Structure 1
Amino acid sequence: MFAAYVTVTCVAAVFTGSAAVTYLLGHDYPKAQADMKRIPRSWVPVLGLLLAAGTLGLLAGFAVPLLGTLAAGGLVLYFVGALIAHLRVGSRKLVGWAAFFVTVAAAFAVNLGYRW
């Protein structure tokens, strides 16, 4: 179980960390996504900070288990919010969302299974 915990957590951290960097560097893709979902562009850096905090929390969870569990749960909620934003505007392009959601949900599940 330890190997699954470490592997899934690291994969989730890479996924969310790369997304956080993209959001925080001001890449055009997150801005276009915000426009499509009718979210103010001023939220893009905030969303990037939330992703970065979740990533750091996942990694800190190796030392402080509760922090990792809370970070994984927070990332699950983040991507539930992203799904709501997609559905609110009628977007059915959910493959990218699904990849992120499944990854963070798996990190949450293995975190709970391994630690608790």
Structure 2
Amino acid sequence: MILSTVKRKASSPLNGTDHEGNIDEEESFILRDRLLPLIICLLRTDKFPAVLRIYRDTLITVMKASIKATVAELLPVLTARPIDSDSVTGGRATDADAGGQSLANKLRSLSSEGFVQLLSAIFRIVQG
């Protein structure tokens, strides 16, 4: 529930504008009002640390899957892109199409511009 709320806010095209400010504030109060009794109950039963661990592990798993999907989607595009600046790097980029190459070798074969583009895409996914 919380994760879907965060994803919905992150995917909203108007996120961060003044128009959305009041709605986000109202949603924040509604979410707080719904979570407060749950948190109090978890604290009373001494289950709060365990629930936080589960939530953290779930969040980490989702983030890793998102990052892997982004890398899997963009890496073939970035390694196939022709590189004009350096002939050695260009030669490595053509070798990157080999199916048995490890992820580390594929990342090494990227140009610095391609690597920065990949990191930017990952940052946008992590940011949210």
Q: TM-score, normalised by structure 2?
A: 0.34
More RCO (CA 8 Å, sep 6+) = 1
Task: State the structure with more CA Rg.
Answer: 2
Between structures 1 and 2, the one with greater helix share:
1
